[in-house]
Amino acid sequence: MAQFPPSGPSVPPIDGSSVPSGPSSSSTLPEPPKATSILLIGMAGSGKSTFAGALSRSATTSEAVASKSKSKDEETQTYMVNLDPAVLKTGYEPNVDIRDTVDYKRVMEEYNLGPNGGILTSLNLFTTKYDQVLSILERRAQEVEYIVHDTPGQIEIFTWSASGSIITSALASSMPTCVAYVIDTPRTTAPATFMSNMLYACSIMYKTRLPFILVFNKTDVQPSAFATEWMSDFEAFQAALNEGNATEPSSVATNRPGSGRRRTGEDAGYINSLMNSMALVLDEFYSNLRTVSVSSVTGEGLPNFFKAVDEARAEYLADYRPELERLAKAKAEARDKKKKQELERLMKDMKMGGAAPSRGGVGSTAGDQEEDEGSYGDRYEGDGQIIDPVSSKTLNSEGTD
């Protein structure tokens, strides 16, 4: 496979300290670190990178005001990870950057891929090094408040790929983690686009099973009141649908008259009844959601977002972590059981074969052991001579030379 050598300092060479610690090997997990990890996911152009920049500046500024005497490093309360290999400008200074490890354009050339295949393959290559990244994050997690991951806009590349799942579960088993799903509010004013965003959000929430925050971004351009109303009041959403065109911005949302173009006939009936059924299905999802409205440009709503992250952390500790603990315990118990069984088998072999060590001991496979069992004593053809471990001389049966 082609080499894509790191060109920056973000990913250090593999050494003993870079083994991911992940969940504890004992039955109890280590204390959760100070940091909460936030995975920013959202459609292309929803404003993830701009939002990540706003988060980084906001957390740093408030902390810096409170601690004027601290050094620049100590003031930084947000650790930024960029997972988008194709981004040109991030709008923040990434501490770990996929672009330092993988050259997206070279990947496209070498593997003869298009842009999306290039992003996916770059993410896959990066994931093979994620254990090193995770060990850095685990160390940083003791010092900073937030670790923000900015993901590619091609949403399915992260949410439905093996590498996205590996990164998400590795992160979530190392530290409190939540998902922030960023929505482009001005582009969600049509009932159909609103619904497709909600379906995406719902599928990601159920796939990751992590605490979830819905972030309505760009509220400086379009307030999000219509969306929160559609989520809490089924009839309000129906009224928007009944305007006649589910794929155009609703006048309820924009406060402007609609285009007047109404879908008619079977087509309109099908779309409306599909939207209605989906809205009913999503009702349960809406009731479990944490929603915040922000503007990444003006910074409005960011304190509410940080509050939501604190709640998400509490939810992780109350719901997700006990499940991790249970899994870690089950794994440790299974390992202990296997060890005990192997020991019992070894003892059995030793009884059958006298003091001579069995071939079916440590290092042999279960198959070897089964083959040896019951036949070792019969097949033993030793002449009774044993070796003196001190002099290495062969002794006869009386123990003399």
Q: Taking the alpha carbons of 76, 134, 147, 86 in that order, is the dihedral positive or negative?
A: positive
Of 40-48, 111-119, 316-324, 357-365, which part binds ligand GTP (CB under 6 A)? Answer: 40-48
Asked whether position 268 contacts ligand GTP by CB under 6 A, the answer is no
**Among residue numbers 338 through 397, which ones bind ligand GTP (CB under 6 A)?**
none
Q: Do residues 184 and 218 lie in contact, with contact meaning Cβ atoms separated by under 8 Å? A: yes
Closer residue to ligand GTP (CB): 36 or 49: 49
Residues 87-106 interacting with ligand GTP (rule: CB under 6 A)? 87
Q: Work out whether 45 is an interface residue with ligand GTP (CB under 6 A).
A: yes
Smallest distance, ligand GTP to C-beta of residue 205, A: 19
CB of 156 to ligand GTP, least distance (A): 12
Phi, psi dihedral angles at 167 (to 5 degrees): -60, -45
Query: Is 89 or 393 the residue whose CB approaches ligand GTP more closely?
Result: 89
For residue 279 the two structure tokens come to: 């809205």
Q: Pairing mode, if any, of strands 212-217 and 290-293?
A: parallel
Which residue, 50 or 174, has its beta carbon nearer to ligand GTP?
50
**Of 278, 133, 299, 144, whose CA–CA distance to 203 is shortest?**
278
Assigned token pair, 293: 């409205």
Judged by CB under 6 A, does residue 293 bind ligand GTP? Answer: no
Residue whose CB is less far from ligand GTP, 122 or 295: 295
Q: How far is the CB of 45 from ligand GTP (least distance, A)?
A: 5
The residues in 192-251 that bind ligand GTP, with binding defined as CB under 6 A, are 217-218, 220-221
d(CA 235, CA 230): 8
Tokens coding 83? 């997972």
Select 186 or 258, whichever has its Cβ closest to ligand GTP.
186
Distance of alpha carbon 261 from alpha carbon 276, whole angstroms = 20
Q: 300 with 294: CB under 8 angstroms?
A: yes
First to last CA, the chain: 61
DSSP secondary structure string for all residues of 284-348: HHHHT-EEEE--TTT-TTHHHHHHHHHHHHHHIIIIIHHHHHHHHHHHHHHHHHHHHHHHHHHHH
User: Looking at 22, 85, 153, 301, which residue binds ligand GTP (CB under 6 A)?
Assistant: 153
Stretch that binds ligand GTP, among 20-28, 37-45, 206-214, 277-285 (CB under 6 A): 37-45
Asked if residue 44 binds ligand GTP (CB under 6 A), the reply is yes
Q: Which is nearer to ligand GTP, 87 or 102 (CB)?
A: 87
Compute how many residues bind ligand GTP; rule: CB under 6 A. 18
C-alpha dist (Å) from residue 67 to 11, 93, 183:
30, 21, 34
- Which residue lies nearer to ligand GTP by CB, 215 or 352? 215
Beta carbon nearer to ligand GTP, 48 or 313:
48
Stretch 160-199: interaction string toward ligand GTP, x if CB under 6 A: ----------------------------------------
Minimum CB separation from ligand GTP for residue 178, in Å?
18
Q: What is the 3-state secondary structure (H, E, C) of 128-181?
A: CCHHHHHHHHHHHCCCCCEEEEECCCCHHHHHCCHHHHHHHHHHHHHCCEEEEE
Of 299 and 361, which has the nearer Cβ to ligand GTP?
299
Which residue, among 169, 168, 220, 170, has the nearest Cα to 47 in the 3D structure? 220
CB of 148 vs ligand GTP, minimal distance in Å: 12
Q: Which is nearer to ligand GTP, 240 or 302 (CB)?
A: 302
CA 186 – CA 58 distance, rounded (Å) = 23
Angle at alpha carbon of residue 151, lines to 36 and 208, rounded to 5°? 60
Tell me whether residue 149 or residue 218 sits nearer to ligand GTP (CB atom).
218
128: phi then psi, degrees, rounded to nearest 5:
-65, -15
Query: What number of other Cβ atoms are within 10 A of residue 254's Cβ?
Result: 16
Contact with ligand GTP (CB under 6 A): which of 23, 58, 82, 84? Answer: 84
149 part of the interface to ligand GTP, by CB under 6 A: no
Residues that bind ligand GTP (CB under 6 A): 42, 44-50, 84, 87, 153, 217-218, 220-221, 295-297
